Structure 1
């Protein structure tokens, strides 16, 4: 029980220390979204290139 009380008292102190955390969290979130977006656009570009390439080539992969 003492550990729980100690933990709870620590939790009450935490908000003062965690004020700088939200911007960091937002920054990390933004970075992850940018990386994800970049990855998705790269995949789309590769697909487009592949479609274009397969359009230019026949089934034996020789350029038309």
Structure 2
């Protein structure tokens, strides 16, 4: 990250980071997919990463132990 001289430069930089994070960077927690892909699938499938709620809850509880 670098210093920006204007608010417009800062805004553009933040937008570029968000675009990369949401559209190009694969996420392990999303099965190697990007948030944008998962979001587009979620309207068709309420659980787009293919795990049941009980499995997700069980994994979360195990990680807390």
Q: TM-score range by the shorter chain?
A: 0.3 to 0.5
Higher relative contact order (CA 8 A, sep 6+): 2
Identify the structure with the greater helix proportion: 1
Compare CA radii of gyration and give the structure with the larger one: 1
Q: TM-score, structure 2 length as denominator?
A: 0.32
